[in-house]
Chain A
């Protein structure tokens, strides 16, 4: 009992401190996105603080995934997608033509809605990024990176005896954690997560949420989620989107207890969405 209170106290203090101390890792200024004729984002300005979990919430089609995907330029792969405004990573404009997109995506990793392990072995899935970016000098180093990444994704103990079996043979939750391990393996600074739990059952979801909370120590995380509870559980800051606009952004605790905007309140209490 005593221990519990102590730990929760510590967490609260940590949350409080980090909320104040953390510098801004990524910053969006008047970001607009067009898919062909259709405009999906209308001038969104949002700061992403370092080593914190920022949750993007809002009803379907509100532009939260679009904003997320423009943070590592994954929108570039969509035909007819045009982006305006400015997005910076460590005060560097990521849409500057001089920026190497491939390098940017190595710094800003991504985990997708549906677990998408490659049809390769578990080991090869995690080793994929390090191999491409030449992060390991030899086999031994590569094995170390793989093990470390799997441990960080709290998957290692479950799969250590079958590292060379197909990654597609894992359960849904394990697959998603494998994808997180795969993203971690390239040592990104920011990890973007697009509804990472929407295809998982509650137990797998709990595990992934726990993992996200741990990852916060080392990584800056932006997560899109449909679930209010999830946003409340894992994030320190929450941004509410509606119809391509940013409605409100603030500390999660404040957003859920005392939102300033009526639309946020309505959404959080389930009146629409």
Chain B
């Protein structure tokens, strides 16, 4: 029985329970007492008590039984090669799993007279479209057979228990249906728990991301000291052959951090005035018809994938700036095609809609009575904006800019294509610099082992980046919230 079928059966039981429960509530209501809940609430309550426990059980059982079966398989693997026991064991386990999946595809007859050696089994499985690595061993075959057997058994037990749970839940729910049963309140409570679960998932995911990066980062810091990472001024990870222990390389964060902040700064210098002025125009000057056209157009910019901005920078803006600089200096281009300036300007274009849209909302939120007050005193529109509207909106705008800045810092695709990969530490905006995100991409792409500092450094970089943007976002939200309190 497949899991999907079990789910369908459970839901079907729940639906039957729903109709029975509703029917029962209707028949019990003889109008002598005021019914507490409408009939459909009784129906929903029966549905929920029959379906929810069963589904939760299916989930828990699926995770638990697969753990159990894996442990069982590990125990039945012969112990050998004590040196690197974890690596080879997990490798062996992976192969056993592969064989087990392959065996599933065989016909019953083929399974009955299974070849006993791996070299015979391999061509048989590859004829079924299951490719296996060549290093398989003969002893893996019985383990895989056993694996499949226990999986099937666990599955059947799980299915039976789930269905029994569903039926029991339905009976329990139906037996409770009464005129004065508070089905409505019960359903309400379950809705509350459901909503709570949804928000918990979002938070738990964040925690999970941080934890997964944290463990890899700790492993990284076992081979590289934190001080040489955080305060090192040279980035030279020196890729060595996989498994080789020779070259260590230097993992200095400073050049990357400097590049990240520099490019973000150039982007903000470009995006903030343009975005803010666009927002002021839209909020204060534009007539409704202009606004209804210009605003969506500007927001189209926000919908362009950043990789598209990236090659816009690479093939258009970069060469353009280089040629212009060559024309100015008379031959020698002092702006590189890949440079801080190129990446910054294109990223700035990307950020314009964020700045303008967020600032527009904040400026519009400034009460109209303040504008009236200022205009009524005989000030012009721009005086009103400069002296009343913007000061009132300033905390909110600062918050919006911080949110935008944290986006600029975390931006990847534009800088990968437009900023260059050289980890320079300089202040010339016409030179190439690189960013944390670019280096994360560099370190993680390619054929790599996940246990050398060369790759693990990506997690340390990622975690650093995460904390920088997190700090900025928290600060921004704090400011925005403080601003909101002022007018509500």
User: Is B376 an interface position by the 8 A CB rule?
Assistant: yes
Give residues 243-296 of B contacting A (CB, 8 Å).
Answer: 287-288
Instruction: Collect the chain A residues with CB atoms within 8 Å of residue B287's CB.
Output: 79
Q: How far is the CA of A116 from the CA of B369 in the complex (A)?
A: 6
Residue A103, interface by CB 8 Å: yes
Tell me how far the C-beta of B203 lies from the nearest C-beta in chain A, rounded to whole angstroms: 35
A74 with B392, Cβ < 8 A, contacts A102-B380, A128-B387 known? no
Are A128 and B374 in touch, CB under 8 angstroms? yes
Residue B421 interfacial (CB < 8 Å) = no
Q: From known contacts A118-B388, A128-B387, A132-B383, infer whether A186 and B377 are also in contact, taking CB-CB under 8 Å.
A: yes
Choice from A114, A132, A186 contacting B369 with Cβ under 8 Å: A114
Q: Mark A178-202, 1 if CB is under 8 A from B, else 0.
A: 0100110010000000000000000
A112 engages B372 (CB within 8 Å)? yes
A79-B288, A118-B388 are known contacts. Are A110 and B379 too (CB-CB below 8 A)? no
- For the complex, what is the distance from the CA of A77 to the CA of B486, rounded to whole Å? 25
Given A112-B369, A118-B388, A118-B392, A105–B486 Cβ distance below 8 Å?
no
How far apart are the CA atoms of A170 and B34 in the complex, in Å? Answer: 53
Q: Would A183 and B377 be within 8 Å (CB), given that A120-B391, A128-B387 are in contact?
A: yes
Contacts of B328 in A (CB 8 A): none
Interface string of B385-403 (1 = CB under 8 A from A): 0011001100000000000
Bound-state Cα–Cα, A103 to B387, Å: 18
Residues of B within 8 A of A119 (CB): 370, 391-392, 486
In chain A between 69 and 115, which residues have their CB closer than 8 angstroms to a CB of chain B? 72, 74, 77, 79, 102-107, 109-110, 112, 114
A-B contact count (CB 8 A): 69
Q: How far is the CA of A104 from the CA of B377 in the complex (A)?
A: 9
A163-B462 Cα distance, complex, nearest whole Å: 51
B378 neighbours in A (Cβ, 8 Å): 102-107, 109, 129, 132-133, 186
Measured between beta carbons, the chain B residues less than 8 angstroms from A102 are 378-380
B94 within 8 A of A: no
Q: Which residue of A lies closest to B288 (CB)?
A: A79
Residues of chain B within 8 A (CB-CB) of A114 are 369
A115, chain B: closest CB distance, angstroms: 9
Enumerate chain A residues within 8 angstroms of B383, measured Cβ to Cβ. 132
A105 near B376: Cβ-Cβ < 8 Å: yes
Name the residue among B287, B375, B388 with the largest chain A CB count within 10 angstroms.
B375
Q: Which of A104, A112, A118 has the most CB of B within 10 A?
A: A118
Distance of A32 Cα from B310 Cα, bound (Å): 57
Chain A's closest residue to B393 (CB) is: A119
Q: Does B142 make an interface contact (CB < 8 A)?
A: no
- In angstroms, Cα B378 to Cα A110, docked, is 10
Across the two chains, which residue of chain A brings its CB closest to B383?
Answer: A132
Q: Does B115 contact A (CB under 8 A)?
A: no
Report 28 cross-chain contacts, Cβ distance below 8 Å, ordered by A residue: A72-B376, A74-B372, A77-B371, A79-B288, A102-B380, A104-B378, A105-B375, A105-B377, A109-B377, A110-B376, A112-B369, A112-B376, A116-B367, A116-B373, A118-B374, A119-B391, A128-B374, A128-B377, A128-B379, A128-B388, A129-B377, A132-B377, A132-B379, A132-B387, A133-B378, A182-B373, A183-B376, A186-B377
Known: A77-B372, A118-B392, A128-B388. 17 other contacts (CB 8 A): A74-B372, A74-B376, A77-B371, A79-B288, A102-B378, A105-B376, A105-B377, A106-B377, A109-B376, A112-B373, A112-B376, A116-B367, A119-B370, A128-B374, A129-B377, A132-B377, A132-B387
